[in-house]
């Protein structure tokens, strides 16, 4: 318990990241891409938001001593993917099918993200080495929110810049569906903070709000979906969520509930991610 008290700020950090507004800019994109590339960029840039949450969740699992070996390996993979995708957004990446970004406004924003990441990465490396270091955890708690918010701002800029290729409705749908991935990790993190006795009442409320946002967005996506295959996949997500939501809404931190949370949060994430990819593939 004492080792994790230093990360009390994590919950507060993660509650604000999803609220960033679309930046006010009239700059038109210089990124010449197909509709498919535009959808992929929004998808992968949006996925970066989730990875900031996932890294924080994995760091807390490690600090708590829960399935330490597996979470260390997961943290290393999450870190590597975030780093590779960020570089790919800037310079292009053939494997990720990312075109090089040439829009000056977006590049300036990605530079901010890169600077924040360079700092946070040092602390992630410490935890990923298996060392539960108080200063590293404190740094993650302080640096997580700026990284999340600035990455979210970049996503909004990409979504706006893609308007000439993607319909505004599709760009927003991919963006919203992508945010759902982040919420699966955010709500699980907040549950774990409650389990660790960290800012308990605030994080119970945070978990409930995150769960409600996830549920309402999922319902809206299902109601507005006109593609039967995508709707069926969202139905899979809805079934998983129906089995998980009571733990989140009640902030159930019993041993059985925490075990179920560990087992269910990744399938929920993966199936939501599958739906996002299906939205992306539907763009022609």
Q: For position 97, what pLDDT does the model report? A: 92
For 166-220, what is each residue's pLDDT tens digit? 688 888 888 899 899 999 999 998 887 787 677 789 889 999 999 999 999 999 9
The reply to whether 47 falls in a domain is yes
Which of 127, 3, 66 is CA-nearest to residue 262?
66
Which pLDDT value is given to residue 205? 95
Which parts of the chain are beta strand (E)? none
- Looking at the predicted structure, is the pLDDT value of residue 100 above 60? yes
Range of the domain at 252: 5-17+27-281
When pLDDT is cut at 50, 70 and 90, the band that residue 25 belongs to is very low
Q: Which residues pair with 93 in a beta bridge?
A: 98
CA atoms of 202 and 159, how far apart (whole Å): 32
- In eight-state DSSP terms, residue 30 is -
112 vs 34, more confident: 112
pLDDT tens per residue across span 65-91: 889 999 999 999 999 999 999 999 999
Rounded Cα–Cα distance for residues 249 and 85 (Å) = 33
Task: Give the model's pLDDT for residue 86.
Answer: 97
pTM greater than 0.95: no
181 occurs within a structural domain: yes
148 found inside a domain = yes
Closest of 284, 278, 276, 283 to residue 175, by C-alpha: 276
Is 140 domain-assigned? yes
Residue 81 included in any domain: yes
Distance CA 284, CA 281 (A): 8
164 and 29 in contact (C-beta within 8 Å)? Answer: yes
In a domain, 22, yes or no: no
C-alpha to C-alpha distance for 164 and 247, rounded to whole angstroms: 42
Q: Is residue 253 part of a domain?
A: yes
* The total number of structural domains that make up the chain: 1
pLDDT on residue 6 = 44
pLDDT tens by residue, 39-55? 788 889 989 999 999 99
């Amino acid at each position: 318990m004492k080792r994790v008290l230093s990360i009390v700020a994590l919950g507060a950090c993660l509650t604000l990241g999803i609220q960033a507004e679309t930046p006010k800019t009239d700059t038109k994109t210089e990124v010449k891409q197909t509709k498919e590339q535009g959808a992929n960029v929004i998808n992968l840039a949006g996925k970066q938001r989730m990875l900031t949450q996932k890294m924080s969740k994995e760091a807390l699992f490690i600090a708590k001593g829960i399935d330490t070996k597996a979470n260390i390996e997961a943290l290393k993979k999450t870190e590597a993917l975030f780093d590779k995708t960020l570089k790919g957004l800037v310079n292009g990446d053939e494997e990720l099918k990312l075109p090089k970004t040439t829009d000056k406004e977006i590049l300036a924003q990605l530079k901010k993200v890169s600077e924040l990441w360079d700092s946070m990465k040092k602390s992630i490396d410490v935890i990923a080495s298996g060392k539960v270091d108080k200063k590293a955890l404190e740094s993650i708690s302080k640096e997580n929110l700026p990284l999340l918010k600035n990455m979210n701002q970049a996503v909004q800029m990409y979504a706006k810049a893609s308007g000439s290729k993607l319909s505004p409705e599709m760009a927003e749908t991919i963006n919203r569906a992508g945010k759902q991935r982040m919420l699966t990790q955010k709500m699980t993190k907040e549950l774990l903070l409650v389990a660790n006795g960290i800012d308990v009442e605030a994080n119970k409320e945070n978990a409930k709000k995150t769960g409600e946002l996830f549920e309402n967005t999922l319902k809206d996506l299902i109601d507005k979906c006109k593609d039967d295959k995508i709707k069926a996949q969202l139905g899979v997500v809805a079934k998983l969520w129906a089995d998980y939501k009571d733990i989140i809404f009640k902030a159930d931190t019993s041993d059985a509930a925490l075990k179920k949370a560990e087992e269910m949060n990744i399938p929920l994430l993966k199936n939501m991610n599958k739906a996002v990819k299906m939205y992306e593939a539907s763009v022609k």
